[in-house]
Amino acid sequence: MSDNVHRPLIAVTVGRDLPDRPSVLRLTENYVRVLTDAGAIPIVVVPGIDVAAVQYVMERVDGLLLPGGIGAPDPHPRRFGEEPRPETVIDADLDALEIAAIHRAVRLGMPVLGICRGCQILNVALGGSLIQHLEPGDVSHLPDLPLNAEAHELRLEDGSRLAGLSGARLLRVNSLHHQAIARPAPALRVVGRAEDGVVEAVESADPDRWITGVQYHPEELTSQPAHRRLFEDFISWSARYAADRDQERNVSA
């Protein structure tokens, strides 16, 4: 994709660096690197803009990436009918931004990739719920390890998009989360779990839609082809979405 005209634009949501620096917006550089390496142009979308502005942006981009990372806040549990636990850290403006972006992207048929918090807010926006806090157990989901270190197994469903991209049904992945999906949204199906049963990956229930959420951090593991292919496939589908949209606009012009 050497010609910028054919490089898909990917909206990337960013939130505040809570709780230490609430006036600072945060985005890990590896998200930018992995998108540009795959041939895309990331477009940062910030909290505090109204729904009409979010929709305006989404109608001009080709894919949506919902990131996570160190210090990422939790989706507000009232959005799935619960009150916050003491461990829950909330950024209501980021929730509003991402939910508006998800709803518009889904309505437009745009590819969506959610990572860590992004996987959780994707599930909440589409009608699912979360485990607010994972108690210590056989698997540590918030280990004291570098983010590029493998922490536990990922067991993938046969026939899932992720299994096809990775060429395997069993992977080792990193981990940095204290919440996880409880009830999957009706539009999503669980396709990956850790060895303790915690949900680690979801996909669209419609195989013709590219909607994927992963609880781990593949942007930190792209030296491995299985994780790099996830981003390459996301960008490929985003480029296809852009081409189809442009063709429709040319026909209607």
- Active site residue ranges: 116, 217, 219
How many whole angstroms separate alpha carbon 185 and alpha carbon 117? 15
Quote the crossing angle between the two packed helices 51-58 and 92-108, to the nearest 10°.
Answer: 40
Residue (of 15, 75, 89, 88) closest to 49 by Cα position: 15
Residues in the chain: 253
How many whole angstroms separate alpha carbon 224 and alpha carbon 119? 21
Q: Which tokens hold the place of 103? A: 């709803």
Q: CA 231, 35, 146 angle in degrees (round to 5)?
A: 80
Residue (of 34, 15, 43, 46) closest to 118 by Cα position: 15
